[in-house]
């Protein structure tokens, strides 16, 4: 068992670099998807309900009457399911600046991923990449407070919905919660980059 411990301890630096690569893969993939209609549509509930980000959208705060005659947030009436392409919904999103914002957000996410990856060779750059990763995760985790869609709704059925609202996370909520791992990973990367930078300064 001691030999196993020594083996993993000796590979620590490589595992940290693997963590950098893993963050880059996630950031590059997710950031790249922001250029596509379905992904841009999918982030609307998070952005439009966020006090920090809602101003990016033209139609944030507006309401509409749904098919049941209820007054609801306007974005819910123009929601495209993943894989669905309804032209009137797409037109609404264009007017809402949904796609323009998504292009910008995707570029920022991709840039952060590249900074993290660059930390393998340039720890000072990697330090900022790690901090930005953690900071971005803080914003994402705030959606657990501001976005209704992260919790199971009470839609009823043959009998009342037994589990709804807090703390019953929906699929979107479970996805958001995982960002706490990204936050921790970003802080580990920043700390490792800072340690490497300080070590280099002492050596020189």
pLDDT in tens, 170-197: 999 999 999 999 999 999 999 999 999 9
Reported pTM? 0.92
The whole-number pLDDT of residue 105 equals 98
Angle formed at CA 177 by CA 175 and CA 180, multiple of 5 degrees: 125
The whole-number pLDDT of residue 200 equals 76
Taking 70 as the pLDDT cut, the residues of the chain under it are: 202-204
The whole-number pLDDT of residue 98 equals 98
The whole-number pLDDT of residue 156 equals 86
pLDDT in tens, 144-177: 999 999 999 998 888 988 999 999 999 999 999 9
The whole-number pLDDT of residue 121 equals 97
Q: Which two tokens stand for residue 1?
A: 């068992």
Mean pLDDT over each residue of the chain, to the nearest integer: 95
């Amino acid at each position: 068992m001691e030999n196993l411990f020594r083996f993993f301890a000796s590979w620590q630096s490589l595992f940290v670099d693997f963590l950098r690569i893993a963050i880059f893969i996630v950031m590059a993939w997710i950031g790249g998807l922001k250029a596509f209609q379905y992904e841009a549509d999918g982030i609307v509930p998070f952005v439009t309900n966020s006090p920090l980000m809602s101003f990016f959208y033209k139609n944030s705060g507006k309401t509409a009457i749904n098919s049941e005659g209820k007054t609801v947030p306007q974005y819910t009436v123009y929601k495209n399911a993943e894989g669905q392409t309804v032209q009137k919904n797409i037109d609404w999103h264009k007017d809402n600046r949904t796609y323009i914002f998504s292009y910008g957000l995707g570029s920022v996410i991709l840039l952060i991923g590249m900074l993290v990856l660059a930390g393998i060779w340039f720890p000072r750059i990697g330090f900022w990449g790690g901090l930005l990763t953690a900071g971005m995760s803080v914003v994402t985790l705030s959606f657990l407070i501001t976005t209704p869609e992260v919790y199971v709704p009470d839609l009823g059925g043959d009998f009342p919905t037994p589990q709804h609202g807090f703390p019953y996370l929906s699929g979107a909520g479970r996805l958001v919660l995982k960002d706490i791992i990204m936050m921790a990973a970003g802080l580990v990367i920043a700390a490792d980059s800072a340690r490497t930078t300080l070590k280099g300064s002492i050596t020189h």
